[in-house]
């Protein structure tokens, strides 16, 4: 991108964050303005997010910076700045990115000023960066998960360099607060409470790409949520790879349950969600807090991964089938109407038919409201990838189909039980297919469509669930 004349800074570059990034935002703004002048129009950006809620939240940060430096958001990739925030939890996520990059190259031929950037978990893998350097020379900027706060600085470097800018850190203990964020929804927001993971489940690449566990200070989290509420947010989703181990490494340790109690006190905040809970760390203290809370949603995502204690041990999950089931009993005893959802992996190396039947047994016993089912994906660098006894594809596929059928039958039955009830719904948007309807969510996270207009967006209203359509409801607004 080096055709622009270099902007000579008028002041010294600040060393401290976030001041340093505000300084670079200012410089980036000047480059964007020059390009605008050259093109005679505003510059556009498109952020394409792969993967989990953490990435979705990171993308809001990327959008915040891009808007701050003068780009205007567009939903097509025919934009002046296209960034992919990537995921690498399963191999097919990587393949999707390579596939789409070919398409971007075509767009760049039409608009040579276009900047193509890649960030997120996939960039933390060395072999990915090698491949990009070799075969995808037209990518302008690559950075990872640890230095996303430096995005403004990296944009400036990209404007000033004629080579691919690459900045990947192995790990960090740094958390930079107070940078601009552009929320996707006015009334709800993700809030990072911690970063990274220390669990090293044997199949999982996350600890290698997201680094060690780091918790944000409770006062920073509370301040952020208070600010969000003042800005119209009524629902927050607290985000961490393992929220139940929140606060253990802070100078003044705080438990997740204590943090929740503090968040509950924030006036104007109506709903609290969180994700993800590791069963091994879910405390009785947390169950007690959930039982008495008026704001914590009636939904818990509790990844099972496998129902076989033998496989769980191989997975390094550090709980047994029996411990998991006992935990579910304790949660249900305290919060009877809670919706439980889960993640399950089929075909972990060495999984036998008996092991798989144990998973099916847990699924039948727990009666999940919904479950994400995954086919095991071999991730280079994880201990499980070294195992010899990978399960044949056809066997995995057959088990996967059986599991999915079971999960779906149970989920439909569970959803049916709410038909006829009147429950509060947070309205999220006008229905995509029918403009006379709005779409919202129950406390238990189920989706409801009902007649209404955009004036309801962001409000919590009572809706009678007239008809269950399997995974969602058709309803009508009514008095309780
Ligand atoms: N293969 C398949 N699924 C995986 N997950 C994590 N790593 C893998 C893998 N290698 C699933 C787990 C986790 C979810 C986010 O992704 O179920 O809970
Ligand atoms: Fe991966 Fe396990 Fe950490 Fe979840 S808890 S991110 S599955 S290592």
* Mean pLDDT, residues 418-430 taken together: 97
CB-ligand 1 contact for 439 (6 Å cutoff) = no
Q: Which ligand is nearest to the CA of 241?
A: 2
pLDDT, tens only, 88-117 = 999 988 999 999 999 999 999 999 999 999
pLDDT at res. 195: 95
Tell me, in angstroms, the distance from the centre of ligand 2 to residue 178's CA. 27
Closest approach atom of ligand 1 to CA 52: 15
pLDDT, tens only, 247-283 = 999 999 999 999 999 999 999 999 999 999 999 999 9
Tell me, in angstroms, the distance from the centre of ligand 2 to residue 376's CA. 14
pLDDT, tens only, 385-409 = 999 999 999 999 999 999 999 999 9
Instruction: Using most ligand atoms within 8 A of CB, pick from 204, 306, 377 the residue to mutate for ligand 1.
Output: 204
Q: How confident is the model at residue 449 (pLDDT cuts 50, 70, 90)?
A: very high
Name the least confident of 5-9, 156-160, 206-210, 347-351. 5-9
pLDDT at 3 over 80: no
Percent share of the chain, pLDDT over 70? 99
Closest residue to atom 7 of ligand 1, CA basis: 204
Name the least confident of 4-13, 60-69, 156-165. 4-13
pLDDT at 5 over 90: no
pLDDT at 173 over 90: no
426 SS3 class:
strand
With CA atoms as reference, report the closest residue to 311 among 278, 354, 281.
354
pLDDT at 149 over 70: yes
As a whole number, the mean pLDDT across the chain is: 95
Residues contacting 104, CB < 8 A, separation 6+: 77, 82, 116, 138
CA distance 6 to 319: 57
Instruction: Using most ligand atoms within 8 A of CB, pick from 55, 200, 204 the residue to mutate for ligand 2.
Output: 204
Q: How confident is the model at residue 479 (pLDDT cuts 50, 70, 90)?
A: low
Distance (Å) of CA 263 to CA 155, 181, 201, 259: 35, 20, 30, 6
Percent share of the chain, pLDDT over 90? 93
pLDDT at 197 over 70: yes
CB-ligand 2 contact for 242 (6 Å cutoff) = yes
* Mean pLDDT, residues 120-127 taken together: 95
pTM (2 decimals)?
0.94
pLDDT at 137 over 80: yes
CB-ligand 2 contact for 372 (6 Å cutoff) = no
CB atoms within 10 A of CB 106: 8
CA distance 366 to 430: 34
Residue of 11 and 140 predicted with greater confidence = 140
pLDDT at res. 18: 94
CB-ligand 2 contact for 411 (6 Å cutoff) = no
Closest residue to atom 5 of ligand 2, CA basis: 199
With CA atoms as reference, report the closest residue to 375 among 409, 408, 343.
343
CB-ligand 2 contact for 305 (6 Å cutoff) = no
Closest residue to atom 18 of ligand 1, CA basis: 343
pLDDT at res. 400: 98
429 SS3 class:
strand
CA distance 362 to 326: 11
b/e per residue 254-293 (b: at least 16 CB within 10 A): bbbbbbbeebeebeebbbbbbbbbbbbbbeeebbebbeeb
Closest approach atom of ligand 2 to CA 343: 7
CB-ligand 1 contact for 90 (6 Å cutoff) = yes
Q: How confident is the model at residue 480 (pLDDT cuts 50, 70, 90)?
A: low
pLDDT at 304 over 70: yes
Q: How confident is the model at residue 378 (pLDDT cuts 50, 70, 90)?
A: very high
């Amino acid at each position: 991108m080096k055709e622009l004349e270099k902007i000579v800074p008028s002041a010294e570059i600040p060393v401290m964050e976030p001041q340093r990034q505000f300084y670079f935002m200012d410089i980036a703004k000047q480059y964007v303005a020059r390009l605008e002048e050259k093109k005679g129009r505003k510059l556009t950006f498109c952020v394409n997010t792969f993967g989990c809620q953490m990435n979705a939240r990171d993308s809001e940060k990327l959008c915040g910076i891009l808007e701050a430096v003068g780009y205007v958001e567009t939903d097509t990739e025919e934009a002046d700045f296209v960034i992919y925030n990537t995921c690498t939890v399963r191999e097919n996520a990587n393949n999707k990115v390579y596939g789409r990059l070919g398409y971007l190259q075509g767009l760049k031929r039409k608009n040579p000023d276009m900047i193509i950037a890649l960030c997120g978990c996939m960039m933390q893998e060395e072999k990915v960066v090698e491949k990009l350097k070799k075969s995808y020379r037209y990518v302008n900027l690559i950075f990872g998960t640890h230095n996303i706060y430096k995005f403004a600085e990296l944009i400036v470097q990209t404007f000033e360099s004629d080579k691919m800018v690459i900045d990947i850190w192995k790990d960090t203990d740094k958390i930079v607060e107070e940078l601009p964020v552009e929320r996707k929804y006015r009334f709800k927001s993700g809030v990072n409470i911690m970063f990274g993971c220390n669990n090293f489940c044997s199949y999982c690449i996350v600890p290698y790409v997201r680094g060690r566990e780091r918790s944000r200070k409770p006062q920073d989290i509370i301040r952020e949520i208070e600010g969000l509420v003042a800005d119209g947010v009524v629902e927050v989703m607290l985000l961490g790879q393992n929220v139940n181990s929140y606060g253990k490494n802070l100078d003044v340790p705080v438990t997740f349950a204590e943090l929740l109690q503090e968040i509950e006190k924030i006036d104007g905040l109506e709903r609290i969600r969180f994700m993800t809970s590791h069963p091994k760390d879910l405390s009785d203290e947390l169950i007690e807090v959930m039982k008495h809370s008026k704001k914590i949603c009636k939904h818990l995502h509790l990844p099972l991964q496998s129902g076989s204690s033998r496989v769980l041990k191989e997975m390094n999950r550090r709980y047994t089938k029996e411990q998991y089931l006992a935990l579910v009993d304790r949660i249900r005893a305290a919060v009877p109407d809670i919706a439980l959802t889960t993640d399950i992996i089929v075909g972990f190396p060495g999984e036998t038919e008996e092991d798989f039947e144990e998973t099916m047994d847990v699924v039948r016993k727990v009666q999940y409201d919904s479950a994400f089912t995954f086919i095991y994906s071999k991730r280079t660098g994880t201990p499980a990838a070294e195992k010899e006894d990978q399960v044949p594809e056809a066997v995995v596929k057959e088990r996967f189909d059986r599991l999915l059928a079971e999960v779906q039958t149970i989920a439909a039955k569970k959803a049916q039980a709410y038909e006829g009830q009147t429950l509060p719904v947070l309205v999220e948007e006008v229905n995509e297919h029918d403009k006379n309807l709005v779409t919202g969510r129950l406390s238990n996270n189920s989706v409801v469509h009902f007649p209404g207009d955009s004036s309801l967006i962001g409000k919590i209203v009572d809706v009678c669930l007239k008809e269950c359509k399997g995974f969602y409801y058709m309803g009508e607004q009514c008095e309780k």
